[in-house]
A and B are shown apart, each in its own frame.
Chain A
Amino acid sequence: MAAELHVELVAADRQVWSGEATLVVARTTSGDIGVMPGHQPLLGVLESGPVTIRTSDGGTVVAAVHGGFISFADNKLSLLAETAELSDEIDVQREERELERAKAAGDATAERRADVRLRAATAR
């Protein structure tokens, strides 16, 4: 059995996902970071971007995460986000509309959010 790490993906108002994984890739302010079991204790600031979790049964979970933190210690990884959605919770059409609207309105934050969600949804 491959080494595993325990992942908790929590948003401010709910727990989004939790389980065992072999690899987690997330985007911090200084670039993408991959965490595998046995990584050195880490605390980082997340950018909004997709987070990829390779689960121990071989599946992949993708989530769109907007701001937050990654912390890893004792083979336990916590991803804290103000808002986070799993890729299968994302409504692609709605986000496409949202992206259009944000572009038209020149709202950079909303545009980025919609873009991240779309990328997470298509990466599944």
Chain B
Amino acid sequence: MGAQLRVYKRRIRSVTATKKITKAMEMIAASRVVKAQRKVRASAPYATELTRAVTAVGTGSNTKHPLTTEAETPTRSAVLLLTSDRGLAGAFNSNAIKAAELLTARLEAEGKEVDTYIVGRRGLAHYHFRERKVVESWTGFTDEPSYADAKKVAAPLIEAIETETADGGVDELHIVYTEFVSMMTQTALGDRLLPLSLDEVAEEGAAKGDEILPLYDFEPSAEDVLDALLPRYVESRIYNALLQSAASKHAATRRAMKSATDNAGELINTLSRLANAARQAEITQEISEIVGGASALADATAGSDR
């Protein structure tokens, strides 16, 4: 076998192996998307009921709470960025990071200091490499986040927002995550979580066709209920964002691995054609060598006959 042909054969073998791996990863991601979507759906009843309750307190009483009142001049914001622990998901992480950077730039332009909180190794690595300050970070659960993980993430954020700004607290809390729109579409977006504008929550409820909420009797009191409710609301929103990010990440992985598999297939086709051409060239050369040799021999014998 010629050297050229051997090189092609070797490359075809290696690309075939890669294709098998990407194909397997694609299928794993596909099954995980379904599981992650199911988790998003399973968490929906809690989130809906909680939103209803928050709306009820917000509209049914005129209670003021640090988590719902806007500071007159917000000076510091917290941004929570949700990325994944592992890559191989196309532009998933860079889109989320880009969205966070846009949001940070906007907040800084408004004259606010920005504290960054990060979930996921990818985002953390990005910030560490650029030597930017990260207040707190969590890794290790982005593939399958549990409610306990959401609580863990929410705790320092709630604490920060409850602290006075002068003592190192923050006035606003933003969250950047990747919304799972469909299997094909996932969009990175930044949302303001706190201070909560109750009108917005109420509008959201109204948009879903909710009936007018009745006047509630609060047990023990509206303030206490709101006190207990809002941290749960934040946790539930973070939990939902974590789940959506996980689902989006798996969908992005699936898509990236699918195109990797397709590309590997194309590459194998091209390489096979090149290998065939190389083999054919080799054969042609051999034949022409033989023919050339034979005719040279024939010429030589014809010459000696004379």
Residues of A within 8 A of B (CB): 8, 10-15, 28-30, 33, 40-45, 68-71, 73-74, 78, 80, 82-83
Let me know if B209 is at the binding interface, CB within 8 A: no
Tell me how far the C-beta of A60 lies from the nearest C-beta in chain B, rounded to whole angstroms. 23
CB contact under 8 A between A74 and B214, given known A12-B147, A12-B239: yes
Tell me how far the C-beta of A63 lies from the nearest C-beta in chain B, rounded to whole angstroms. 15
Looking at chain B, what size class is its interface with the partner chain?
20 to 34
Contact at A10–B225, with CB atoms within 8 Å? no
B219 in complex: contacting residue of A11, A14, A33, A78, CB < 8 Å: A33
Contact at B218–A44, with CB atoms within 8 Å? yes
20 cross-chain CB contacts under 8 A: A8-B45, A12-B43, A12-B147, A12-B150, A13-B46, A13-B146, A29-B219, A30-B219, A43-B53, A43-B218, A44-B219, A44-B225, A68-B232, A69-B50, A74-B214, A78-B49, A78-B52, A80-B232, A82-B151, A83-B147
Tell me how far the C-beta of A36 lies from the nearest C-beta in chain B, rounded to whole angstroms. 14
CB contact under 8 A between A10 and B45, given known A43-B57, A80-B50, A82-B147: yes
Chain A CB within 10 A, most for which of B150, B214, B235, B239: B214
Let me know if B213 is at the binding interface, CB within 8 A: yes
With contacts A13-B147, A28-B220, A41-B217 known, what are 5 further pairs, Cβ within 8 A?
Answer: A8-B45, A41-B215, A43-B56, A71-B56, A83-B147
Chain B CB within 10 A, most for which of A10, A68, A83: A10
CA distance A15 to B50 in the complex (A): 13
Residues of B contacting A78 in the complex (Cβ-Cβ under 8 angstroms):
49, 52-53
Tell me how far the C-beta of A7 lies from the nearest C-beta in chain B, rounded to whole angstroms. 12
Tally the A-B contacts, defined by beta carbons under 8 Å: 91
Residues of B contacting A44 in the complex (Cβ-Cβ under 8 angstroms):
218-220, 225
Tell me how far the C-beta of A67 lies from the nearest C-beta in chain B, rounded to whole angstroms. 8
Residues of B contacting A43 in the complex (Cβ-Cβ under 8 angstroms):
53, 56-57, 60, 216-219, 225
Contact at B53–A73, with CB atoms within 8 Å? no
Tell me how far the C-beta of B141 lies from the nearest C-beta in chain A, rounded to whole angstroms. 13
Contact at B146–A69, with CB atoms within 8 Å? no
Tell me how far the C-beta of B284 lies from the nearest C-beta in chain A, rounded to whole angstroms. 68
CB contact under 8 A between A45 and B224, given known A40-B217, A80-B49, A82-B147: yes
